[in-house]
Structure 1
Amino acid sequence: MYDASAELLGYHDAEVNLPSTERTNMRKRRDANRARLKKGLADAGKPAPIGQHTQGSYAMHTMVQDENTDYDIDDGVYFRKGKLVGPNGGELSALSVRQMVCDALQDDRFNTPPKVLKNCVRVYYNEGFHVDVPSYRRIESTDPWTGKVVYSYDLASSDWKASDALAVTRWFKQRNEHHSPDFDDTDGQFCRVVRLLKAFARSRSSWKSLIATGFMITKLADDSFSASAGRDDIALRETMKAIRWRLEWNTTIAHPTINGETIGHDNDARPGYFKDRLMENLKHLEVLDTSDCTHQAAMAAWDKVFCTDWFSQQSPPEEGSDGSGSKSARSPTRPVEKREGGRYAGSALP
């Protein structure tokens, strides 16, 4: 297969991975949102949160660039169950807690006011992205064997629903370490391939409402990942192939941390749509297997996959002694990205 690993890594770094400056700006807005929520709850005489924790793609570092800044940050807020009571001492419903959080987040500076949704309160920022604030209650119990206090968590959904908010983040980080042949030296090949798959899924605006979600794609990548040391291009292509065949016989995607639950709804067509898009675009990459594949042909193929012209703008690699792209010049090596206190910082629940 034609070696386009250096170009694919360059595309990932330049066009896919969220720049540190963008993450910093989003983190500042997240922190301002947290301060707004705490103040709004205090001013209204409502229970104070015992913690706020980011989750989802932002926490897993799999968020990808979007030209319309259509970013979604999940930032959960936690309360003690015993504090979530009404004026007469009755337990607050899940809807009441979401409405309480929504009221506390109101701000005249928003063009669109925060809104109560099924699983969260959504805060719309004027720049285009939004922050989702799911609410959780912490339940204390005693382990009958050890006598120690044990915590569990319920999400304020259509009703209270058992949910370990950060379990998916912990799962992803474990799978990234397990899958990635370069985990000790980089942010992980598995993580990069997940980002590239998500970028592919978002590469055409007409696909947006039809294709598998980022969470679905992440779990599919875990089910079908094919590592290739030093060759992200092979890892991505082989993982795309494996996902395509996996979805050929089964489009149901099991939740990674909740036994018996699936990602998506009954008769969900989005995984099948993702399979079809993979199948048609994998055909573009078949030229990479020809013995006379040129740099120009390889770059054109990757452009078609990602619906871009970025690859065709890349100069051919320096010639090696055998007349091909020099392996030593093309092998991608990158340092570990230290973000927000390290790779796994800040994962503890309150």
Structure 2
Amino acid sequence: MFDCSKDVRAYHNQDVTLPKSEQDAMRDRRDSNRTRLRNGLEKASKPKPIEFVKQGSYAMKTMCRDLDNDYDIDDGVYFEKDDLVGDRGAEMTSLQARQMVRDAVDDGKFKCAPEVRSNCVRVFYEKGYHVDLPVYRRVITTTVFGEDVHYELAASSGWKRSDARDVSGWYEDERAASADGIQLRRINRDLKKYARSRYSWRGAILSGFGISVLTTERFQVNDREDRALYDTMVAIRDRLKWNLVVAHPVTPGDTITSGSDDAKARCFREKLTEAIDTLAPLFDADCTREKALRCWDKVFATTFFSERLEDEQRASVVAPAIIGSAALLGATAAAASAVSSAGGGRHA
């Protein structure tokens, strides 16, 4: 396979992973939202959250750059079960808990008002991104063995046993157990970037979480970044050939996909096959750097790789000219110095 390792790594660093400025901005948005929610709850004499827990791709650090700022920041808000009671003292339903959070976070300054969704409260921002606030309650029960603590999500079907920290912990465990947890995360981001590289794919392809699960299942470590990405693509595609079901990593019996012929998993399999076929010329004995980089451009629907080659070619033309000019200046200076040493010139 023609070696484009440095190019694939450069693409990840420049166009895939979020720059520090974006990461800082997201943290600021998250913190501002937490403050807004605390203030709204206090003003309405509602229960105080016991904690906030970042989750999803934001917590796993697998978010990818998006030109439209279509970022989904997940920030779970946790309450004590005993505090979530209605006006008449009855236990809050999952819907009432989400409505309480929606009302508290809406300070009237949003252009688009926050909405109650099936498993969260969504806060919209003008720049295109949004913050999802899943609502949880901590349940403490006393048994003969002592206290048992678990958490429940305010879902559309009612209170469902769940804790976002389980997913983040699972991902870190998978990275720690892999041959190269840092590269695994990079390849994970690259695959998510590929899945969102065409607007027409976005509603039809497997979710980012599903892609993360498959990446941990079939990650292929390699000293060459391009080979690690390609081999992982092939491994995931082959896995989806025999089974389209993707199990939830921390919820026993749950699946991320719907049934044995999930349309979104099938779409991801098909798009991986397209990428693998597109990269086939890189295995030809007469493959050139130009041809190889055009293939990577086609995979990610970008011009990054070809532009990188153009920059190299321009640099190769400019560099000899700069070296030649420097040599000429050096020779001129040396000649002048020799004349001066001989007696200051013809008028000495």
Shorter-chain TM-score range: 0.7 to 0.9
Q: Is the 8 A contact 2:248 2:255 kept in 1?
A: yes
CA distance in 2 between counterparts of 1:231 and 1:317 reads: 22
**Whose helix fraction is larger, Structure 1's or Structure 2's?**
2
| Matched position secondary structure for 1:139 | strand
Where structure 1 has 5 or more consecutive residues not aligned to the other structure, the ranges are 319-350
Q: Is the 8 A contact 2:290 2:309 kept in 1?
A: no
* Amino acid of the structure 1 residue aligned with 2:257: G
What's the counterpart of residue 101 of structure 1?
Answer: 101
Deviations 1:165-196 (A, max 9, x none): 11111111111122243x4xxxx010000000
What's the counterpart of residue 89 of structure 2?
Answer: 89
Higher relative contact order (CA 8 A, sep 6+): 1
**2:123 is aligned with 1:130:** no
CA distance in 2 between counterparts of 1:122 and 1:316 reads: 43
Aligned equivalent of 2:297, options 303, 308, 316: 303
Q: Is the 8 A contact 1:295 1:316 kept in 2?
A: no
Q: Percent identity?
A: 46
Where structure 2 has 5 or more consecutive residues not aligned to the other structure, the ranges are 313-348
| Matched position secondary structure for 2:122 | strand
Deviations 1:305-333 (A, max 9, x none): 10111001123999xxxxxxxxxxxxxxx
* Amino acid of the structure 1 residue aligned with 2:188: V
Q: How many residues align?
A: 310
**2:169 is aligned with 1:170:** yes
What's the counterpart of residue 153 of structure 2?
Answer: 155
Deviations 1:105-145 (A, max 9, x none): 11222110000000000000111100000000001134644
What's the counterpart of residue 245 of structure 1?
Answer: 238
CA distance in 2 between counterparts of 1:43 and 1:317 reads: 57
CA distance in 2 between counterparts of 1:221 and 1:296 reads: 29
* Amino acid of the structure 2 residue aligned with 1:25: A
CA distance in 1 between counterparts of 2:118 and 2:128 reads: 21
* Amino acid of the structure 1 residue aligned with 2:241: E
Aligned-pair Cα RMSD in Å: 1.5
What's the counterpart of residue 11 of structure 1?
Answer: 11
CA distance in 2 between counterparts of 1:112 and 1:316 reads: 44
Following TM superposition, by how much is the alpha carbon of 1:265 offset from its aligned partner in structure 2, in angstroms? Answer: 2.8
Aligned equivalent of 1:227, options 192, 209, 221: 221
* Amino acid of the structure 1 residue aligned with 2:186: R
* Amino acid of the structure 2 residue aligned with 1:133: L
CA distance in 1 between counterparts of 2:36 and 2:30 reads: 10
Q: Is the 8 A contact 2:136 2:153 kept in 1?
A: yes
What's the counterpart of residue 318 of structure 2?
Answer: none
CA distance in 2 between counterparts of 1:262 and 1:246 reads: 16
CA distance in 1 between counterparts of 2:311 and 2:68 reads: 33
Deviations 1:20-39 (A, max 9, x none): 11011111011010000001
Following TM superposition, by how much is the alpha carbon of 1:254 offset from its aligned partner in structure 2, in angstroms? Answer: 0.3
* Amino acid of the structure 2 residue aligned with 1:118: S
* Amino acid of the structure 1 residue aligned with 2:240: L
Aligned equivalent of 1:200, options 194, 202, 206: 194
* Amino acid of the structure 2 residue aligned with 1:239: T
**2:261 is aligned with 1:262:** no
Moved more, 261-270 or 3-12: 261-270
CA distance in 1 between counterparts of 2:244 and 2:170 reads: 21
1:12-27 equivalences under 5 Å are 12-27=12-27
Please identify runs of 4+ aligned residues in structure 1 that moved more than 3 A.
Answer: 142-145, 315-318
Following TM superposition, by how much is the alpha carbon of 1:50 offset from its aligned partner in structure 2, in angstroms? Answer: 0.3
Following TM superposition, by how much is the alpha carbon of 1:201 offset from its aligned partner in structure 2, in angstroms? Answer: 0.3
What's the counterpart of residue 335 of structure 1?
Answer: none
Residues 143 and 5 of structure 1: is their aligned pair in 2 closer, same or farther, counting only changes over 3 Å? farther
What's the counterpart of residue 38 of structure 2?
Answer: 38
Moved more, 217-226 or 190-199: 217-226
Q: Is the 8 A contact 1:107 1:113 kept in 2?
A: no
What's the counterpart of residue 48 of structure 1?
Answer: 48
| Matched position secondary structure for 2:309 | coil
| Matched position secondary structure for 1:315 | helix
| Matched position secondary structure for 1:75 | strand
